[in-house]
Amino acid sequence: MWSANSGSINLMSKVRLTKPILICFYGFPGSGKSFVSRNLSESLPIAQVSADRIRGELFASPRYDAQENAIVVHLMDYMANEFLSAGVSVAYDINATRQAGRRKLREMAAKNKAEYLLVWLQIDQDSAFGRTQKRDRRTSDDRFTEPQTQMSFEKQVGTMQNPKDEPYLVISGKHAFATQKGAVVNRLYQLGIVASDTVQENIAKPELINLVPNPILSSLENDRRNISIS
């Protein structure tokens, strides 16, 4: 067993990856990034490195300022590099909002001879904000998440830079995890790191529908082994 706070190695995972991959996430606050990241780490041989959990363990009263963010990202990068260099895939659980930051993550993957995948969770803005107001601190996904007001939510959305001229996978933040997982496994197959029989066992539906209206997307343009680190 490997643990930061708690963790486990599940040797019974049906999915076997032929090389490590760095999976990153992009989407509105409340779109389901941590939910998908955690569930992937529990059902695939992927280590979850969670910004919310690292921050919650390091800081009793998080400020979410630039200095604190830099410390969290530094630790995430260190752990992700350690896992990837050991041949372990990583779910890098922080909102990869900026193009420059995603470029550095692609470089990290390349340096460690790993594949890279950006998962874009799409959901309408009103639904995403509504979810942030209903978070349950008793659950593992919500325990350390940043509190959101309408102002802080809109500020974060305003700084987001949609993926452009870079590889990414779109999944719906409103679909069940079985369907989300199916889309991810299918992309892993396309990248050549899982076998076709694994794809058939793990895909719930053949394709997904983009549920985000075009005006919302356009507005954003303006600007272990199954190991879980908790």
Indicate the domain borders of the chain: 21-220
Residues 6+ apart with CB under 8 A from 170: 120, 122, 208, 210
The number of angstroms, rounded, from the C-alpha of 172 to the middle of its chain's C-alpha atoms is: 13
- Grade residue 223 by pLDDT with cuts at 50, 70 and 90: very low
Length of the chain: 230
Q: Indicate the helix (H) or strand (E) that contains 1.
A: none
The beta strand positions in the chain, using DSSP E, are 21-26, 46-50, 89-95, 115-122, 169-172
SS3 of residue 205 by DSSP? coil
pLDDT tens-digit profile of 87-104? 999 999 999 999 999 999
Of residues 169 and 212, the one with the higher pLDDT is 169
The two tokens of residue 158 are 């305003």
- Grade residue 13 by pLDDT with cuts at 50, 70 and 90: low
Round the average pLDDT of the chain to a whole number and report it.
Answer: 85
pLDDT of res. 221: 46
Tell me the CATH number of domain 21-220, given options 3.40.50.2020, 3.40.50.1370, 3.40.50.300, 3.30.70.380: 3.40.50.300
pLDDT tens-digit profile of 14-72? 678 999 999 999 999 999 999 999 999 999 999 999 999 999 999 989 999 999 999 99
pLDDT of res. 136: 86
Phi, psi (rounded to 5 degrees) for 220: -70, -25
- In the chain, % of residues over pLDDT 90: 70
Residues pairing with 92 in the sheet: 24, 49
In terms of DSSP bridges, do strands 89-95 and 46-50 run parallel, antiparallel, or are they unpaired? parallel
> Mean per-residue pLDDT for 105-110?
98
Q: State yes or no: pLDDT of 224 exceeds 50.
A: no
pLDDT of res. 201: 66
> Mean per-residue pLDDT for 2-24?
64
Q: State yes or no: pLDDT of 11 exceeds 90.
A: no
